[in-house]
Amino acid sequence: MPDVTILPVDGALNGESPAWCARTRRLLWIDSREPALHRFDPATGQDERWAMPAWIGACAPTPRGALLPLRTGLHHLDLSTGALDFLAPAPCDARRFVLNDGRCDPAGRFLVGAMYEPLGPGEMSDAPKAAPLWRYTGGGWTALTDPVATSNGLAWSPDGRTMYHADTPARVIRAYDYDPATGDISNPRLFARVEEGEGPDGASVDRDGFYWSAIYGGGCLLRFDPAGKLERRVDLPVRWPTMPAFGSDDLGTIFVTSANKDLPPGERAGRPDGKLLAMSAPVPGLPTIEAGGF
């Protein structure tokens, strides 16, 4: 088992969406519930923070900054100026859903799912509490999958021809055939079922095509081979890991975000939950793909 380092950042209510930017040699990550984009420098330990006006569900690097799906819609943040530009409204009812777990496919297209998180009792109803995975282009949104309860675990195989997508409360990870030329999917199938914790959260794929899944509430990462067989379990010093991502110059470090929102406020300061973690990977990961057109 690798040694796990707890990095010197403030604890996050819901840390998520780590993404390594090779150009800046820094890690982007978010806190969705105390909404902010963070940028961590492993060389200095400095963690910069940009506060957001609403829930933030993911981040994807761009040449000038980051693509950010907020509750209020899709935005782009210019990291050099701090300007936050509105791009498109959310593809779902923002009173009832938040965008959750998004990233770019191998061609730079941005995909994002959703999670039922009503603003208040008045927004709770008998209407469906599930939503599909969407793809964004300049022309708008396209639904790709059947609705899921909580969209997570979005990742692609090294050749870009298999897409993975998890539904956390259903405890399943699905695989799809993926057309890198068009971004279309087909042939949905069960890849793995997870009975630990509260289910599979965010994920990443390494150079050998193995799928790394953070098990929320299970305190571990699970590594599945390309056929969906569990290859190893890596225990972590946090109960609520949310997503792994490969980074550093050789993509040989796994960074893991975590949450502490389920802890009583008085216990958060003394626990590693909510921190960023880092460990050596058994094999390097795949480069983070930037969002095209920004």
Say how far apart CA 80 and CA 173 lie, in whole Å: 37
Q: pLDDT band for position 41 (50/70/90)?
A: very high
Section 219-225 average pLDDT: 98
Q: What is the pLDDT of residue 88?
A: 96
C-beta separation of 57 from 112 below 8 A: yes
Q: Is 182 in a helix, a strand, or coil?
A: coil
Evaluate if residue 91 carries a pLDDT over 80: yes
**201 carries an active-site annotation:** yes
Of the candidate ranges 19-28, 131-140, 159-168, 197-206, the one whose mean pLDDT is the lowest: 131-140
Q: Is 121 in a helix, a strand, or coil?
A: helix
Q: Output the known binding site.
A: 16, 100, 152, 201
Say how far apart CA 193 and CA 174 lie, in whole Å: 9
Evaluate if residue 180 carries a pLDDT over 80: yes
Q: pLDDT band for position 293 (50/70/90)?
A: confident
Section 94-107 average pLDDT: 95
Section 259-288 average pLDDT: 95
Strand partners, 90: none
As a whole number, the mean pLDDT across the chain is 95
As to burial, measured by CB atoms within 10 angstroms (0-12 exposed, 13-18 middle, 19+ buried), residue 139 is exposed
Structure tokens at 52: 């957001």
- Cα torsion 225, 169, 180, 30: sign: negative
Q: pLDDT band for position 240 (50/70/90)?
A: very high
Structure tokens at 276: 């960023």
Q: What is the pLDDT of residue 121?
A: 73
In the chain, where the domains are located: 4-280
- Please state the φ and ψ torsions of residue 135, each to the nearest 5 degrees: -115, 135
Q: Output the known binding site for a divalent metal cation.
A: 16, 152, 201
Q: Taking the domain 4-280, which CATH number applies?
A: 2.120.10.30
Q: How far is CA 23 from the centre of its chain?
A: 20
Say how far apart CA 30 and CA 7 lie, in whole Å: 15
Q: Output the known binding site for substrate.
A: 100
Section 216-228 average pLDDT: 98
Query: Which spans in 126-209 are helix H?
Result: none
Q: Per this entry, what is the length of the chain?
A: 294
Q: How far is CA 92 from the centre of its chain?
A: 19
Catalytic residue among 101, 201, 206, 273: 201
